[in-house]
Chain A
C-alpha cells in the first residue's frame, strides 16, 4: 500500500492524536516504559556512560567526515567477500534494482525485516507493482502491514494498537479463531510467517551498521526474524543508507553498548548478526547472493549542510522520541512521514524538503531532553532552530521541488506577522529608554484588551500559550523603590 506524505497536515493530525484517548494511554505507557528501562540501564553504567557517548559520537563523526574513504573500502570488501554493491541516488533507483532482482530470480515472495530505509523508499509498494509480494516479518511491522498503516515508533511500530485491535485484525485477515491472548497471537504470527520464510525467494533487510574494514553488514534484533530473513531465502538484499558505514569491527564494542541501552534499556539485544559475504559452497548455510544497495536519497544534501550534517550520526534508537514532551503527546503518525520525533523533525525536512515539512521543526519546546538522551550527542535543539530560521527566511531552495504544502499561504502570512512582531520586540530590547517606553505601551494595551487573570487574547498565539497581561508596575520600578526608597520622588519624575 502506498502511503501519502502527510507532513503538510501536521496540525490537523496532531489535534486528532490529542483527542484519541486510546492513543494517549498507549503513548504514555510506552514512552514511560522505554524511559525507565533506559534510565536503569544507564545508571548501571556509572561514569562510563558519558565516555561511551563521547566515543560513539566520535566514531560517527569520524566516519561521516571520511565518508568517501570508508564507503570505498566497504564496497571493495563486500565485493571481495562475494557480494554485489549497487549505488542508488534515489528511491526509484533502489526500488527498481530490488524489483528487477526479484524478477530475475523468479521470486514472487520477499520476506522483510524492519527497516526505516525501506519504509523511506516505499519498497513494498514498488515490489507489489512488480508483482512481488513483500511480507513484513517483525511482529509489530507485520501487524501494521496487515492493518495497512504506518509504524508509529522507530523501535515499537505497533504501540498504538491494543491486544484487542490485534485480535480483531488477525481474525479478519488471517482467518484464524479470535484470541486476545498475546502468547497465542504471537504463536499465530510465528506459524504464518514460518511458512513465508520457507517459501520466499528473496530476503530484504536494512543494516544497523556497515563495517568498512571487513565489508560486513551488522543487524540487531530481538525476535529472530532478521536471522530467518538472512538465512533461508536464496538471495539477501540489504538496503543501507550511506551514513551507516563505520570503520572497524572493534567500533561495534562501543556502538553495541549504547544502542540497545538507549533503545529499550536492554544491555544487549537478543540477536546481533555480523554477516560478511556469501557462502562459498552450495552445502553452506545462508544465501547464495548478497546485494548491498547503498542509498543516497537526499543524504548528500544533509552532508553538504555543515549545520545539519550531524543528523547523519543518528543510530535510530528512538530515545529522543521517548523523552520528547511533544512526541509523548502526539505519537509518531502525527509527524506525517516515517521519521517521527525530534530527530525526524530534522531528517524529514532534509529528505523531502523544507516546504513540505515546514511545521515539523516548530513541533518542539526546545527543552533539550532529546540532546540529553541521544547516545551520539546530536545537538537536536540547535538544528531545529537552524531549520526554523531556514524556513522563515525561505532558504529552502536546496530541497527537492515538490508541490507546496497545503495551507502554505496562510502559514506564510502568519510567519510574516510573527516576524514583524519579533522585529518590534528586538528593537524595543535594544535600549533602556525604548524598552521602558514599550513596556509602558504594553501595560496600557494590557489594561485595554486584557481580561484580568486570564490575560490577553492574541489570535493564533494564545490558543496554546498563556499571554498574561503585563503587571501594573514593572520589576524595575519596584527595584528602584527597594534600593533607594528615599530617592523615589526623584526617579519617578524621570
Chain B
C-alpha cells in the first residue's frame, strides 16, 4: 500500500520538481461573449429549458402553484407527492393543501426521521415509500439562463432524492435567481458556498429531463431520472 507522501514524492520525481509552495494560480478567465449578456435572462432561460424538453410555466401566486400541481396530479390515477423542505415549498403551502385533499404526501428524509428515531433501517423503509411517489417537488437555488439549467444546492433543503427518483419533477424557481452563465454562477458559488468550512454536500445542476441515446442513438427521456421536468417560475411573492 502506498502512502500519500510516497505518491507525491514519486510525482515530484517524475516532474523533476522540488517540494514547492502554492503555485501561482492562473489569471481569472473572463467570458468574452455570452448570449445572455444583453438579453432578457428570463426569456432565455425559458427558451433553453423548453428546447431540451422541459416545461416552464410562469406563476404569480402560491395558489397558481397549487393549481398547476393539482393539474399534474389529476393526470395520474393514484398520486403520491413528495415535498421538499425548502423555504419556497413551505411558503407555497402545498403540504397542507394536498393533505387536506387526501393526497398522500411524503416529506424529506430529515422530517421522516423525526419521531422514528435514528433506526438503522430508516433509509430502507424510506426508500420503499419513495419509489411510490409520482411527483417530486423541490425548489432551485439558482438557474442558468444560457443553458436552461437549474441549480440545487444542498443545505437549505434536501433536494437529491425528490428531484431524481419520481418520474415527474416540479421545481420552483424565483425569477430573480436566474443568472447568465455557469462561470458567473461558479464565481458566486465559490464565494457564497465553497469558501466556508462546510461546503454543500451536493450541488446538482439539472438541465432538462433524464435522457439517453444509448440504443441506436435514439433520444429517450426518463431513463433513470424524471421523464418530465416542470419549472414553475415565480415572478414575485
Contact = CB atoms under 8 A, between A and B. Distances in A.
A190 B224 contact: yes
Contacts of A352: none
Nearest to B213: A156
Contacts of A231: 160-161, 164
B237 interface: no
Contact of A276 (B19, B147, B199, B223): B199
A270 interface: yes
Contacts of A72: 4, 8
Interface in A401-455: none
B224 A224 contact: yes
Contact of B211 (A163, A222, A253, A254): A222
A157 to B, nearest CB: 7
A224 B31 contact: no
Chain A interface size band reads 35 or more
10 contacts: A47-B32, A68-B17, A163-B218, A190-B223, A216-B194, A222-B211, A223-B212, A228-B224, A276-B194, A283-B113
Given A72-B4, A87-B2, A270-B225, A30 B217 contact: yes
Chain B interface size band reads 35 or more
A282 interface: yes
Interface of A: 29-30, 33, 46-48, 51, 55, 58-59, 62, 65-69, 71-72, 75, 81, 85, 87-89, 93, 137-140, 143, 156-159, 161-163, 166, 182-183, 185-186, 189-190, 193-194, 198, 213-214, 216, 222-225, 227-228, 231-232, 234, 242, 247-250, 252-254, 256-257, 264, 267-286, 294, 296, 300-301, 303-304
Interface of B: 1-4, 6-8, 10-15, 17, 19-20, 22-23, 25-26, 28-29, 31-33, 48, 52, 108-110, 112-114, 118, 122-123, 127, 131, 144, 146-149, 154, 158, 160-161, 164-165, 181-183, 186-187, 189-190, 194, 199-218, 220, 222-226
Nearest to A114: B214
Of A193, A225, A249, the most chain B CB neighbours within 10 A belong to A249
Nearest to B226: A224
Interface of B is mostly: loop
B218 A182 contact: yes
A231 B224 CA distance: 13
A88 B2 contact: yes
A88 B10 CA distance: 13
A143 B23 CA distance: 45
A158 B217 CA distance: 10
Contacts of B217: 29-30, 33, 156, 159
